[in-house]
Amino acid sequence: MKHDFKLTTQTVLRPVVRHSAGFSLVELVIVVAIIGMMLALALPAFSNMLRNNQIRAAAEAVLSGVQQARAIAVSTNQRVFFTLTDNLTSNCSIEPADAKSWVISMDSPENACDAAILNAKAPSLATAAAPRLLGTWSATEKAGKTQLVGNGVGQVSFDSFGRPSTAASIVINMLDNNYNCGTADSEARCLTVLVSVGGQASICDQQLAATKLGACPAS
């Protein structure tokens, strides 16, 4: 009598438990310290970049305002004013040394910088009430703590040929004692908007050497 025996091999699948190695407290402290040092090194450069961007934005706004005032004077065949002011309220005044805003108008805008802005192409512009504002800009709203310094010139008017009443040099600085263009170790890239005797306006960099493109002309 034969007996057949069958050997059955059963493979038992058991879940493999993997233990993930986490960070130890010492490793975590080291990583946090490294991140802190990197931020400490990067923040000053980032802060300077933001300030320089504000200066650039203000310079381009001033350049645009001067060019706009000149273009309106030519197109309307009338005198147009570009004025640096201390604010844009009903108590504004011409500010050649510490301006926070500018105004384009057909009349001097003192004490009326909050008047309605008119369309330069409107037929009624010639008979509208003073100061006949055509455009405004505020550094406080658009470019942080930038400061417009007119070097003694707070207002320039353009005649129908686009010629200015005077040449002008408008410096865009920062209202920060640690960020002045005058200091030798400053990271400020303060800019100047120049208005020539012919009425052309341009931006130049005060810190560039006179031989480099974009540098301000030697005074």
How, if at all, do strands 191-195 and 168-174 pair?
antiparallel
Q: What is the per-residue pLDDT across 63-75, written as a single tens digit (0 to 9) for each?
A: 999 999 999 999 9
Q: Residue 8, Cα to own-chain centre: how many angstroms?
A: 82
- Calculate mean pLDDT across residues 90-108: 93
Indicate the pLDDT class of residue 212, thresholds 50, 70 and 90: confident
- When the pLDDT of each residue in the chain is averaged and rounded to a whole number, the result is 82
The domains of the chain, with CATH numbers, are 57-205 (3.55.40.10)
Q: DSSP string covering the chain, please?
A: --------------PPP-------HHHHHHHHHHHHHHHHHHHHHHHHHHHHHHHHHHHHHHHHHHHHHHHHHHHHTS-EEEEEES-SSTT--B-SSSBSEEEEESS--TT-TTSPBPPTT-GGGGGSPTT-EEEEEEHHHHSTTEEEE-TT--EEEE-TTS-BSS-EEEEEEES-TTS-TTSTT-----EEEEE-TTS-EEEEETTS-TTSTTBPPP-
Peptide bond into 131 cis (omega under 30): yes
Quote the pTM value.
Answer: 0.76
pLDDT above 70 (res 37): yes
Rounded distance, CA 117 to CA 134, Å?
5
State which amino acid sits at residue 39: L
- Calculate mean pLDDT across residues 109-116: 95
